[in-house]
């Protein structure tokens, strides 16, 4: 009996091509100060235009603080459809619940895949 071949599953690149205008990405980065303190920068980027939608800095990021930044970035029904993020522990239950309440679907990068970093 001949085995029927199924079409291949969509790839990561196909997802990005199909949903680029509905996709934003978020990420933290580290900023050392002149007094050797460490600050954490938070950035929200629109993937289709590659422009910064929201930016803020904190000395101690938490899930509640990060969730509030997402709410401030997308006021009054302007939330995107997809949110691309890494698997950082900073995005806790509070963050995931707030994002879900905004109607945004989270897309997590694959574990240990730095080339997919937001």
Give the containing element (helix H, strand E) for 23: strand 23-32
Residue 25, C-beta contacts closer than 8 angstroms, at least 6 positions apart: 44, 45, 47, 83, 84, 85, 118
Residue 5 placed within a domain? no
What CATH number should be reported for the domain holding residue 108? 3.30.420.10
Domain that holds residue 92: 12-116
Residues 41-70 have pLDDT tens digits of 999 999 888 899 999 999 999 999 999 999
pLDDT along the chain (118 residues), means of 10: 68 76 91 94 90 94 94 89 89 93 90 72
What's the CA gap between 31 and 39, in Å, rounded? 5
CA distance 13 to 83: 16
User: Is 74 contained in some domain?
Assistant: yes
Quote the number of domains for the chain. Answer: 1
7 within domain boundaries: no
Q: What is the pLDDT of residue 87?
A: 87
pTM of the model: 0.78
Integer Cα distance of 95 and 90 in angstroms: 9
């Amino acid at each position: 009996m001949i085995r029927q071949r199924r079409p291949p599953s969509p790839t990561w690149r196909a997802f990005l091509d199909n949903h680029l205008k509905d996709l934003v990405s978020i990420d933290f980065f580290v900023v050392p100060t002149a007094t050797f303190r460490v600050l954490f920068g938070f950035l929200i980027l629109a993937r289709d235009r590659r422009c910064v939608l929201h930016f803020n800095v904190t000395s101690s990021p938490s899930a509640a603080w990060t969730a509030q930044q997402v709410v401030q970035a997308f006021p009054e029904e302007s939330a995107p459809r997809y949110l691309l993020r890494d698997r950082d522990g900073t995005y806790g239950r509070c963050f995931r619940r707030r994002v879900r309440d905004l109607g945004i679907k989270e897309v997590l990068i694959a574990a240990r895949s730095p080339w997919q970093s937001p």
